[in-house]
Amino acid sequence: MFSLLKLTRDRNGVTIIEFAFVAPVLVLLLTGLLEFGYVLFARSTLESSVLAASRSSRVADCPNENAKALEAELQSRMSVVSSADGEPAKLQVESYGSRFGDVGNPEPFDDANTNGTRDDGESYTDVNGNGVWDEDMGLTGNYGSFGEVVRFRATYNVRSLVPSVAKQFTNGKGYYEIESTTVARNEPFRETSCAL
- What pLDDT does 144 receive? 82
Rounded to the nearest integer, the mean pLDDT of the chain is 86
- What pLDDT does 5 receive? 67
Residue type, 59: V
- What pLDDT does 154 receive? 94
pLDDT tens-place string over residues 44-71: 999 999 998 888 887 776 777 777 788 8
- What pLDDT does 186 receive? 86
Q: Which residues of the chain have pLDDT under 70?
A: 1-8, 10-11, 61, 189-196
Sheet holding 149-159, edge to edge: 139-140, 90-95, 149-159, 175-185
Q: Which of 182, 164, 183, 162 is nearest to 172 (CA)?
A: 164
- What pLDDT does 157 receive? 95
- What pLDDT does 42 receive? 95
pTM: 0.77
What is the Cα 79 distance to its own chain's centre? 15
- What pLDDT does 22 receive? 93
| Polymer length of the chain | 196
- What pLDDT does 7 receive? 58
82 within 8 A of 38, measured Cβ to Cβ: no
Strand, helix or coil at 41?
A: helix
pLDDT tens-place string over residues 181-190: 999 998 876 6
- What pLDDT does 145 receive? 80
